[in-house]
Amino acid sequence: MAPRRASPLLSFENLELDSSISNATLKDSYDESDAPVKRWYDYIPLFGTVCLILAPHPSLLYVLVDFHLQTLHQPVVFILHLLATYSLTFLAFSSLIVCVARDPGPANLIPSQGANADADDEISLTDALMPNEDYTAPGRWCHKCWAPKPERTHHCSICGRCVLKMDHHCPWLGSTCIGHRTYPAFVHFLCSVTLLATYIAIISISALLYAFHNPFLVHEFTPVHELGLAFAGIVFSLVIGSFACYHLYLISTNQTTLENITPFMLLRHLPPLPRSGHSLSDPPLEPELGYPQRRLVKDAHEKIRIYDVGFRRNWEHVFGWKTRFGWAHRLWYGGASQGDGRNFPRNQRTDDMLARLAIELVKVDRNS
């Protein structure tokens, strides 16, 4: 009796090797089945955001009608204020819809397809199985998604996925992340809301001052609306405006919120350390650093801006446009950042600063 032949663990008999893999197949392979499903209560903050934008309008219409039409008899000014107010409201909702509806940046695609994730182009099997980028480098492989993690990509534990050039997770925009494809729209939304709140505050304060000087010419309930609008406009202008100014600073220095508030991300960019004479990993890990070393990293973080390539290029990278009238949709809803969201120009002057930081960390470790 002939011995029974063991069946192989892997069989390639019925496998048809194709020289190309379509991008659509790669997109379908990621169905976000492992990602947490959003519940209805995840959209409550978004509902609150919409309500906060629309809440001042009834009182604003009352003030405009009573003050500019019935008291001052200025129909032209009334119409201009309406156009300005609702234009800013329209711009705010345009960018809000983009932030909620658009994917912030799928990081699961093959790197060579990142520049045009919606195209039906084909890639070779070699590129799919052996990409050119080194994903063995620190921070270049996501152990939660078990997939490559391109440069400046971060894993969001709330969304359960990696996001290209992730800035932060925002619960106020439908519990979604702000990333490469939605960051300009997010900044546009902040600026539009700030301008809207400031404009409402200016209209209300001017009408309130008139009411104080002419108390018998205005309706008795109009100053109440004006006072509430002025207070709300000032508060939102300061709160949202401060947040908008912070992000304008981040754009000017080419940083994300995560990169700005997390100094220990610098560790993954350090050059190779000496093989002996210290107890640090290569690159060093945050938990193994002592207080002097942590202080060194935090001080260096204030000076080292790895992706800062100049004020003008930083803004072009976020808000730049390639077509002649590409600025039009930037004014409308913000758009998306340039590039594929996977590769970024670096500030070459930071290499020497990172090398000095590595030397100082090793020196402190040897002396401790």
Instruction: Take residue 68 and report the two structure tokens written for it.
Output: 């500019």
Q: How far is CA 22 from each of CA 110, 124, 243, rounded to the nearest angstrom?
A: 11, 9, 41
Structure confidence by residue, pLDDT tens digits, 10-36: 444 444 434 333 444 334 334 444 567
More confident residue, 181 or 112: 181
- The C-alpha atoms of residue 227 and residue 248 are separated, in whole angstroms, by 30
84-110 mean pLDDT: 91
Q: What span, in angstroms and rounded, lies between the C-alpha atoms of 332 and 102?
A: 15
Which residue has better confidence, 13 or 359?
359
Average pLDDT over residues 175-189: 95
Sequence-distant contacts of 33-37: CB under 8 A, at least 24 apart: 34/160, 35/159, 35/160, 35/161, 36/158, 36/159, 36/160
129 token code pair: 């199985």
**DSSP character string of 301-328:** HTT--TT---HHHHHHHHH--SSTTTHH
CA-CA-CA-CA torsion sign (351, 353, 359, 364)? negative
Residue 66 backbone phi and psi in degrees, to 5: -70, -40
Q: What is the mean pLDDT of residues 334-363?
A: 91
On the CB side of 167, how many CA atoms lie within 13 Å of its CA? 24
Q: What is the pTM of this model?
A: 0.83
Residue 207 makes CB contacts below 8 A (sequence gap 6+) with: 63, 67, 222, 226
Average pLDDT, the chain: 84
Q: Where are the domains of the chain?
A: 49-110+156-240
What DSSP letter does each residue of 69-111 carry, written as one string?
Answer: IIIS--HHHHHHHHHHHHHHHHHHHHHHHHHHHS-S-B-SS-G
Q: Identify the CA nearest to 92 among candidates 234, 190, 237.
A: 190
Tokens of 211: 């009411």
Provide the H-helix boundaries in the chain: 23-28, 44-54, 56-64, 75-101, 125-129, 183-213, 222-253, 257-261, 291-301, 311-319, 327-333, 350-367
Structure tokens belonging to residue 122: 């084909």
At 202 the pLDDT is 96
pLDDT digits (tens, 9 = 90+) for 103-157: 999 887 644 444 444 433 344 444 444 455 555 565 678 888 888 888 899 999 8
One-letter amino acid of 260: N
